[in-house]
A and B are shown apart, each in its own frame.
Chain A
């Protein structure tokens, strides 16, 4: 089972908006609305930012939003702030017989 494909890095200046893509297949991202996104600061555990493609858990800033088109999901961070600098991972349910969850390769977000 291959991981979901994300760009290795994305950068932006404070106040700008950036978008991170997450590309899978019809067996995962494209076939189900079970895409989630996690933020991970160095040495810390991942933190859930988006679930079910576009839903935010309580306490997560509305600067974070999610969407999906076909086999590609996206995470947009608007009004970029220094504290947003972190690694971001997508995840999806997969109908693959080998496992239930598949994660993305991860994207390093740098705030310039």
Chain B
């Protein structure tokens, strides 16, 4: 059974870096068909896709324009996991952060998330 296990601090100070990790069991971060995403949810912004990483002979990243200047998503093949770093956070970045899987198959992206982590509430406050 494929599972995503999230970890990381629940409290981050303003202007600092938010860091979360998503460990994959039952699949591979280096999969030639899956892609690994970060999505967040807050009362003010709803569900918001942040970005993804995927491997197709080399590593690729796609990021939402709203966070592109502050976000990095990195794979860690040695631990079969991927991470989210969001720099210069403000209270507006307070949200539940989810990792999730979607697919890039022969016909293109599938445009849905079939597997989600449990979510991590991250509060940005001093």
A interface residues (Cβ-Cβ under 8 A, vs B)? 3, 32, 34, 36, 38, 44-48, 51-52, 57, 89, 91-93, 97-101, 103-106
B11 at the interface (CB under 8 A from A): no
Give the CA-CA distance A93 to B46 in the complex, in Å. Answer: 16
Our pick among A46, A92, A105 for the contact of B111 (Cβ within 8 Å) is A92
> Among B73-81, B87-95, B113-121, which stretch is in contact with chain A?
B113-121
B98 and A3 contacting across the interface, CB-CB below 8 Å? no
A45 and B98 contacting across the interface, CB-CB below 8 Å? yes
Our pick among A3, A45, A92 for the contact of B117 (Cβ within 8 Å) is A45
| Chain A residues within 8 Å of B27, by CB | none
Interface residues in B, total, Cβ within 8 A: 19
A45 and B66 contacting across the interface, CB-CB below 8 Å? no
- Taking A45-B116, A105-B46 as contacts, is the C-beta distance between A99 and B66 under 8 angstroms? yes
- Taking A98-B65, A99-B64, A99-B65 as contacts, is the C-beta distance between A52 and B112 under 8 angstroms? yes
Please give the distance in Å from B24's CB to the nearest CB on chain A: 15
B46 and A103 contacting across the interface, CB-CB below 8 Å? yes
B110 at the interface (CB under 8 A from A): yes
A51 and B49 contacting across the interface, CB-CB below 8 Å? no
A98 and B66 contacting across the interface, CB-CB below 8 Å? yes
A45 and B111 contacting across the interface, CB-CB below 8 Å? no
Q: Name the residue on A nearest B121 (C-beta).
A: A43
Give the CA-CA distance A97 to B68 in the complex, in Å. Answer: 13
A101 and B98 contacting across the interface, CB-CB below 8 Å? no
A103 and B112 contacting across the interface, CB-CB below 8 Å? no
Our pick among B62, B64, B112, B114 for the contact of A34 (Cβ within 8 Å) is B112
Please give the distance in Å from B12's CB to the nearest CB on chain A: 21
A93 and B64 contacting across the interface, CB-CB below 8 Å? no
Give the CA-CA distance A92 to B118 in the complex, in Å. Answer: 22
Please give the distance in Å from B81's CB to the nearest CB on chain A: 17
Give the CA-CA distance A101 to B119 in the complex, in Å. Answer: 19
| Chain B residues within 8 Å of A38, by CB | 113
B60 at the interface (CB under 8 A from A): no
